[in-house]
Amino acid sequence: MEFRHLGRSGLKVSEISYGNWITHGSQVEEDAARECVQAALDEGITTFDTADVYAGTKAEEVLGRALKGVRRESLEIFTKVYWPTGSGPNDRGLSRKHIFESIHGSLRRLQTDYVDLYQAHRFDYETPLTETLKTFDDLVRQGKVLYVGVSEWTADQIAQALKIADDMGFDRLVSNQPQYSMLWRVIESEVVPLCEKEGLGQVVFSPIAQGVLTGKYLPGQPPPADSRATDPSGSGFISRYLDNEDLLTRVQNLKPIADDLGLSMAQLAVAWVLQNPNVSSAIVGATRPAQVRDNVKASGVKLDAEVMSKIDDVIGAAVQRDPSLTVSPQPRP
């Protein structure tokens, strides 16, 4: 496993991190989740990403139990706040009230005194940005959070936050967590240039496009019974790919490229995102330990310009680049 700095911060993270968005507390039983976490640790992964909303807070609980007994200083634990974790009017968003209550719930479920990175899971149009950033800064000063970041924010939103932090003397954002893959490149035109300039690193999710880039979803055929496409918490997210037979055909045409490099399709996909120097870490998930062991082999893989060009030629028009597709929910009526 190789390591990279999280943006321009001093924190080093494993360039492949383990995430439990759909799997823990939802798609797999806890014993299987524990085995996947152990496989990640065995393979040198030190960075673990979760969120309070995953599996209705159960994912944090499962991860906390799976990591119990591991030397805390050897881990980087990331979590997030924004989405509803209850039914009350203040059980969502980035208000001071919700952030304070959410971090305490996350720390309890994760069985830790602090998280290494606390991320705003979306931009909150209903809360003043200064309120959110001041609350994050307070958590840093209290030692409950070491670094702060965001997830799926636009370049303009990140720039606003950075200006406020600089003007007010708050801790600066060090990272953004966007969706990013061969197929989904919406951050490249605006978010990445800003983050390179301002010192934020990308911690990218879905580098394998929810499993599509493994090649297991075949054009004209139903998805495998045990795949993420059949899980209620992930099927809507993946439908944009499964409904596009041309895209699925193009993905199948990546296999000769992977074969020539001695890589699996998943390894090629993860290695591809790691070629972007602004990417600090690529998050992978798994339902079986073997998937973890396969994915980590992408660490340290270098793809030359010719390979990158071949990939572009194969994917072609299937690539989504529109930066306006990075969106957060608008204010509630």
Query: What local confidence, expressed as pLDDT, does residue 226 receive?
Result: 65
pLDDT category, 164, cuts 50, 70, 90? very high
So what's the pLDDT on residue 307? 98
Q: What is the mean pLDDT of the chain?
A: 94
pLDDT at 24 over 80: no
Q: How far apart are CA 107 and CA 192, in angstroms?
A: 31
| pLDDT cut 70: percent of the chain above it | 95
CA–CA separation, 198 vs 162, rounded Å?
8
| pLDDT score, position 274 | 98
The arithmetic mean of pLDDT across residues 257-276, rounded, is 98
Over 80: is that where the pLDDT of 167 sits?
Answer: yes
Which tokens in the block code for residue 17? 């991190």
- % of the chain with per-residue pLDDT over 90: 86
Return d(Cα 164, Cα 173) in angstroms, integer: 11
Q: In whole angstroms, give the CA distance from residue 262 to residue 61.
A: 37
**Rounded mean pLDDT, 80-98:** 96
Tell whether the model's pLDDT for residue 230 goes beyond 60: no
- Predicted pLDDT at 314: 97
Q: Are strands 201-204 and 173-177 parallel, antiparallel or unpaired?
A: parallel
Q: What confidence category does residue 220 fall into, taking pLDDT thresholds of 50, 70 and 90? A: confident
Q: Which residues contact 230 (CB under 8 A, 6 or more apart)?
A: 223, 224
Inform me whether the pLDDT recorded for 277 exceeds 80. yes
Rounded mean pLDDT of 7-27?
88
Give all domains of the chain, ordered by start, each with its CATH number: 3-325 (3.20.20.100)
Looking at per-residue pLDDT, the higher value among 261 and 220 belongs to 261
54 among known catalytic residues: yes
- Exposure of 171 in the CB half-sphere (CA atoms within 13 A): 24
Residue tagged active-site, from 18, 54, 82, 118:
54
Whether pTM > 0.85 for this model: the answer is: yes
What is the average pLDDT across 283-294? Answer: 94
Is the pLDDT at 5 greater than 70, yes or no?
A: yes
